[in-house]
Structure 1
Amino acid sequence: MSLKEFENLEKGSTLPLQDVLKNLKTDGNGLIAAIAQQHDTKEVLMLAYMNEKSILETLETGQVCYWSRSRQTYWRKGESSGHRQQLVSMSFDCDGDAILLQVDQLGPACHTNRRDCFFFEVDSNKVVIKSAPL
């Protein structure tokens, strides 16, 4: 199944959360890409992965929870660093294969201690480091 059957609904229509969750396109491990964006500046902070359990926990607590593919465990952003992400809103794309999290990021989002994870910027035939650690 997919979200395609819901594409022609009118603005303001509502769907049960479980109907949308069961139609998300996840990988073989049940994961879906989640983009974190600062809610007020629209700055793209990071990309991580979520599964149904981390989505539901995030919605329940307001504290963003991801699935760490490297550690094979749940990762509550800022749990050890204090650089937490408070959820402002969550949206799913039209294909149901990505999540957009509007967050309030406290401190750096990147493990390198930079504001965001996208600091390798392509400039013609080279890549420039566009920010320093905070």
Structure 2
Amino acid sequence: MTVDDERVSRVRFGADGLAPAIIQQFDTGEVLMLGWMDAEALRRTLTSGRVTFWSRSRQEYWRKGDTSGHRQYVKGARLDCDGDTVLIAVDQVGVACHTGTRTCFDADDLDPAVGRR
């Protein structure tokens, strides 16, 4: 088992072979998007320095920015406490969302009740 295989084997992928990958701007902490990775997409991400996802709709790998120019350069990667979600810290060049906005999480405020402490 290679070092890359060992790192990927620590992830608990779902029954569909995928794990959610939260993409976060490394220096501001801004949450940019969520994508899906299988073992190969994660291996490519960890070894290439660029983020690769598995497209559930197209059933193919895609590296963020190859067609749009809006690249994500890896600055760090961590697992959550259960090992089933990956957090990738990136330096985002351009926008992260396919709609043309900086983040995928700025479109629809659900206006929740704000908790008090």
TM-score by length of 2: 0.87
Tell me what 1:26 maps to: 13
Task: Give the Cα–Cα distance (whole angstroms) in 2 for the partners of residues 54 and 64 of structure 1.
Answer: 8
> Identity across aligned pairs (percent)?
47
Equivalent pair of 2:72/2:92 in contact (CA under 8 Å): yes
Residues 1:103 and 2:90 are matched in the alignment: yes
- Runs of at least 5 residues in structure 2 that lack an aligned partner in the other structure: none
Which gives a bigger RCO, structure 1 or 2 (Cα 8 Å, sep 6+)?
2
Amino acid corresponding to residue 53 of structure 2 in structure 1: Y
Task: Give the Cα–Cα distance (whole angstroms) in 1 for the partners of residues 96 and 49 of structure 2.
Answer: 17
Tell me what 1:58 maps to: 45
Deviation at 1:25, TM superposition (A): 1.8
Deviation at 1:124, TM superposition (A): 4.6
Equivalent pair of 2:4/2:43 in contact (CA under 8 Å): no
Deviation at 1:41, TM superposition (A): 0.6
Residues 1:118 and 2:105 are matched in the alignment: yes
Task: Give the Cα–Cα distance (whole angstroms) in 2 for the partners of residues 27 and 112 of structure 1.
Answer: 28
Task: Give the Cα–Cα distance (whole angstroms) in 1 for the partners of residues 10 and 50 of structure 2.
Answer: 24
Equivalent pair of 2:54/2:61 in contact (CA under 8 Å): yes
Count of residue pairs the alignment pairs up:
110
Amino acid corresponding to residue 60 of structure 2 in structure 1: T
- Runs of at least 5 residues in structure 1 that lack an aligned partner in the other structure: 1-15, 126-134
TM-score by length of 1: 0.76
CA shift in 2, pair 1:19/1:63, >3 Å: closer
Give the root-mean-square deviation of aligned CA atoms.
1.5
In our comparison, the structure showing a higher alpha carbon Rg is 1
